[in-house]
Amino acid sequence: MLEIKGVCKTFNAGTVNEKRALNGLSLTLADGDFVTVIGGNGAGKSTMLNAVAGVFPVDEGSIVIDGVDVTRLPEHKRAPYIGRVFQDPMMGTAATMQIEENMALAARRGRPRTLRPGITKKEREEYREMLKILDLGLEDRLTSKVGLLSGGQRQALTLLMASLVKPKLLLLDEHTAALDPKTAAKVLETTEKIVERDHLTTLMITHNMKDAIAHGDRLVMLYDGRIVLDIAGEEKKRLTVEDLLEQFTKVSGAEFSSDRALLS
Amino acid sequence: MDITALLNMMPGAAAQGLIWGVMAIGVYITYKILDVADLTVDGTMCTGGAVFIMLTVHGAPMAAALLGAFIAGMLAGLATGLFHTFCGIPAILAGILTQLALYSVNLRIMGQANQPISFRNYALLVSSRNVKAMTLENPILIGAIFCAAIVAVLYWFFGTELGSSLRATGANPNMARAQGIDTNFTKVLGLMLSNGLVALSSALLAQYQGFADVNMGRGAIVIGLAAVIIGEVLLSKVFRNFALLLVSVIVGSILYYVVYNVVIWLGLNTDDMKLITALIVAVFLSIPYWKGKYFDRPGKKGAGTHA
């Protein structure tokens, strides 16, 4: 479903701020894979997701989604294949627009925008039904501006929007990192529900090792812009946080201590 | 001071306010919906009138001349849009570049710095001489019809899929792109629509005042912003619906010209009017910032709230 092959990306090349964020990264996801991604700060996790989403062009390598080479496509042309939820709750929704308007925009992801109505009566009813899965009472607030919602509500809504048109690939970029633990747990629960319901191929970045172990059927660790650990199936089920920390020490050596706080 | 003189000025203020209201709606589209301050309009506010007069003088019918002005404005918006999206120039600078270029273009169109058009020789739609006439030719009536029609069309347009994608682009470009919206395209389209309306307003204004002048658009952006802000400050608590928001912009424009005429009536030098306008707009633009900085009560959080 997703094939990342030898992707390199260097930011600010040729300056003192030069940063090689992706260093020949390769990763292949089969249809229905739910992969959690961990790694220290600057390991290239978000860069990987943004490279797949097309936020910037990559320097080398190729990205293929469901047989389509999207390496040279701009962000909006990859949108038909990809559902995204961002780390910043402000980023996935339009604050000054209504809940139903946001959903209507998402329901037209990947389709040309015509002069037909931006939202229909029938859609409103559908959205009301769909919002119930979030269990946040948003189904009664269809015409509320999204800016009035809390961060957790916005993330849950963004998640629902990302799956309104079934994506080939769901990209979750630490989508619970900005939330309080209780809200984060709830949004993760909703994530599980939606991924399972639609059988979505998913890449989920997380800072939380426990979440990385508890969710998904495969776990990869990034270090220095490359995949250094890839565990799936039974082996992943037996993983513990200690195992991961040990693995992390092995690949990163001395840098472990500085990253420990972030990873535990 | 003679109050009747002031009252006598009010119909003119209303007519001018309605004509500039069309322009202010154009500014609203870029400034409020697309979140871009587009300075092209200072140039477009002459281009529309210039094109209209030259077409009329060369025998074009009214509708064709108005359409020509609208298209000319759209082309100016296209230029700014391409500077901004295709060439990557910051929006403000892109607008300034087009505005400067339009000064030459406007002179080329008119052949000279000023082009008169007289109601004696041509059948004009609006003219200041009818401003107190109780007939269907009254520019207040015609201006109001224009404004109503434009509000109706825009209300429909911004409710469509395409119009919604424009609003999304202004509200959150990241989200818009993630939903497959080509934000470069929507920005260019918005700038074209905006400048088309400004040029239409310019074509009406040239008829109203009987001439087009290469300097007639100077500071237009500030007048447009003043109208948008006055309307917002006075009516945003009452008007929520999109169509009513556009109406509040027109009301803001009329109020601006009422104040303008009061200033003249008070005997102030009208040369100072641009200074006064700039200061008023600066103050109104500062209010939201000051509110946030000095008067933000804890517990009452705005849109930027995290959970």
Please tell me the predicted confidence (pLDDT) of residue A144: 94
Q: What is the pLDDT of residue B18?
A: 97
- Over range B4-19, report the average pLDDT: 94
Considering only CB atoms, which chain A residues are within 8 Å of B171?
Answer: 94-97
Q: Nearest by CB to A95, from B183, B303, B307: name it.
A: B303
Residues in Cβ contact with A242 at an 8 Å cutoff, skipping those fewer than 6 apart: none
B71 pLDDT more than 90 = yes
Q: Are B160 and A117 in contact (CB under 8 A)?
A: yes
End-to-end CA distance of chain A: 31
| CA separation for the pair A167, A180 (Å, rounded) | 28
A31-57 pLDDT, tens digit per residue, is 999 999 998 888 899 999 999 999 999
**pLDDT band, residue B274 (cuts 50/70/90):** confident
For residue A89, give every residue at least 6 positions away whose Cβ sits within 8 Å of its Cβ, in sequence order, or none: A151, A152, A154, A155, A158, A178, A179, B306, B307
Which residue is listed with tokens 């849009």? Answer: B81
- Predicted local distance difference test score (pLDDT) of residue B302: 45
Say if B88 is an interface residue toward chain A (CB within 8 Å).
no
Walking along chain A (264 residues) 10 residues at a time, the average pLDDT comes out as 94 90 94 92 91 95 95 94 94 95 95 93 94 91 94 94 94 92 91 93 92 91 90 86 83 56 50
**Residue B195 reports pLDDT greater than 70:** yes
Which of B45-54, B71-80, B115-124 comes out lowest in average pLDDT?
B115-124
Q: pLDDT value at position A61?
A: 95
pLDDT at B260: 87
Alpha-carbon gap, residue A192 to A200, rounded angstroms: 10
Query: Mean of the pLDDT values across residues B13-24?
Result: 97
pLDDT of B270 over the 90 cut: no
Please report, rounded to a whole number, the percentage of residues in chain B having pLDDT higher than 70: 96
Which chain B residues touch A76 with a CB distance below 8 Å?
176-177, 180-183
Which of A90-94, B193-197, B202-206, B257-261 is least confident? B257-261
Residues of B in contact with A91 (CB under 8 A): 172, 174-175
Contact A79 B162 (CB under 8 A): no
Least confident among B10-24, B95-109, B152-166, B253-267 = B253-267
Which residue among B172, B178, B303 sits closest to A84, beta carbon to beta carbon? B178
Find the DSSP H helices in chain B.
Answer: 3-28, 41-57, 62-85, 91-110, 139-157, 161-171, 173-178, 183-209, 220-235, 242-265, 273-294
Closest alpha carbon within chain A to B158: A118
The two structure tokens encoding residue B186: 């929507």
Interchain pair B306, A178: CB under 8 A: yes
Confidence at B305, pLDDT banded by 50, 70, 90 = very low
Q: Is residue B294 pLDDT above 60, yes or no? A: yes
As a whole number of angstroms, the distance between CA A107 and CA A84 comes to: 13
pTM comes to 0.91
pLDDT score for B148 = 97
Nearest to B175 among A91, A148, A180 (CB): A91
Residue of B nearest to A150 (CA): B307
N-terminal to C-terminal alpha carbon distance within chain B: 59
Inter-chain contact A150–B182, Cβ cutoff 8 Å? Answer: no
Under a CB-based contact definition with an 8 Å cutoff, are residues A230 and A239 in contact?
no
Give dist(CA A108, CA B173) in Å, integer.
Answer: 16
Helices (H) and strands (E) in chain A, counts: 10, 10
What's the mean pLDDT in B213-232? 93
Q: What is the pLDDT of residue B307?
A: 39
How far apart, in whole angstroms, are the C-alpha atoms of residue B56 and residue A91?
50
pLDDT band of residue B297 (cuts 50, 70, 90) is: low
How confident is the model over A222-253, as pLDDT tens digits?
998 999 889 888 888 888 888 888 888 877 76
What is the Cα–Cα distance from A21 to A9, expressed in whole angstroms?
6
Residues paired with residue A37 on neighbouring β-strands, in sequence order: A205, A220
Rounded-to-integer distance, Cα A50 and Cα A171, Å: 9
Interval B92-104 mean pLDDT: 97
> Torsions phi, psi of A115, nearest 5?
-95, 15
| CB-facing half-sphere around the CA of B282: CA atoms within 13 A | 6
Average pLDDT over all residues of chain B: 92
Residue A163: both structure tokens together: 């799956």
Q: Across residues B80-94, what is the average pLDDT?
A: 97
